[in-house]
Structure 1
Amino acid sequence: MLVYHPAFDVYHGVFRALLLLEHTPSKSMPTDTLRIVDLYFVFPYLLAELDFPKGAGARGRKLAGTRSRFNTLPSPRAFLTQVKGLHSLVTASLAGQELVSVEALRDGIVSRTDIEIPTGLLIHATAEDNELAEYLGSKVATVPLLGKRGLKDRSDLMEFRYDPA
């Protein structure tokens, strides 16, 4: 039986990545940060387990009450590992269209270029999509990724103990 799930769809992944990047103040984030915020975008109920940065908790807990339109995960950490290849395809696709910088991507950063997003692509985002992307882009994606109290530690989705200090 073939079952469609947007989390495994490269095209939907491109849509989510662009939406998240457009709602991030610097329009740039480390690739692992994009992987984490993308997981929260697809499964917003997982925000309930995030150790929120100061000042971001109340709105985050409200958004955590949003049921996933897709389904639930038995192990978010394992899922994030499983879709690492998909995220590589998404960022490579964006780089191929010159929507993100190839040079920055080589350094592990997904950074929007000045090339305009194709007309009509992001208009398919619902109000809920935009609200969630704005929160994730401005409050979660801006948390430093590495080290104690970094996003990897706060989310408990990636190992952080061996990060460079």
Structure 2
Amino acid sequence: MLMYHPAFDANHCLYRIISILNSTKEKDISWSLLRMMDFYYLFPSQLKKISPWPKEIQKLKALISKIPDQFEDLTNPVRVFFELESFQKTAALELIAKGILSKESFEKGVMRLEPDSLPPAFIDFLASDDFLSSNAFKLITQALPLANFNGAKGLKDRSGLMEYIYDV
């Protein structure tokens, strides 16, 4: 039996990246943070495993309980996170090639949409996506960028998805 999951669908990855960056226009999103946000987009119930929840975004912690548990069992989230990187990198490079992501920003380590790169019809389409108005997406795009990302007690450490020991 063939099973589909959007995690390893290159076109879905393009959509996820655009959705996240369109919702975080006023914030600087690093490549590493975007990768983490994309992971939580795919597996929102994994947000419940961020421990302890960062104090700087404590007011949004109540939204976690409203996120339904996932259907699939992630026995090794770190491995899935690692395996996603090749799809994420390919998608980001394709978006740069198409002029949707800023190449200059990308070279500085910041993921940013080019102004006016998305047609109005696509922006309307994003507005109709139910997930983009969910509590999980709100946590991913509003809370995670505000939390400390690097070092001990940063999101890398608290999520367990990334190595933080060598952060400066």
TM-score by length of 2: 0.84
Over the matched positions of the two proteins, sequence identity in percent amounts to 28
User: Unaligned stretches of 5+ in structure 1?
Assistant: none
Residue correspondence of structure 1 range 16-165 to structure 2 within 5 A: 16-24=16-24, 26-51=26-51, 52-54=53-55, 55=58, 56-63=60-67, 66-68=68-70, 71-118=72-119, 119-120=121-122, 121-123=125-127, 125-126=129-130, 128-131=131-134, 132-164=136-168
> 1:61 Cα deviation (Å)?
3.3
Alpha-carbon distance in 2 for matches of 1:141, 1:61: 20
CA contact (8 A) 2:99 2:117 kept: no
Cα distance in 2 for partners of 1:39, 1:77 equals 10
Measured in 2, the distance between the counterparts of 1:40 and 1:80 equals 10
Question: CA separation in 2, counterparts of 1:35 and 1:14?
Answer: 12
Provide the secondary structure at the position in 1 that maps to 2:146: coil
Q: Deviations over 1:96-139 (max 9, x none)?
A: 2222111221232211220232323525521x332232321110
Answer with 79-88 or 2-11: which moved more. Answer: 2-11
Instruction: Specify the SS of the correspondent of 1:48.
Output: helix
Aligned-partner Cα distance in 1 for 2:42–2:155: 17
Amino acid at match of 1:18: I
How many residues align? The count is 160
Q: Which runs of 5+ in 2 are unaligned?
A: none
Task: Please state how far the C-alpha of 1:53 moved relative to its aligned partner.
Answer: 2.2
Higher helix residue share: 2
Comparing 74-83 with 109-118, greater Cα deviation is found at 109-118
Cα distance in structure 2, aligned partners of 1:48 and 1:12: 24
Q: CA RMSD in A?
A: 2.0
Q: 1:81 to 1:150 in 2, by over 3 A?
A: same
Matched residue, 2:11: 11
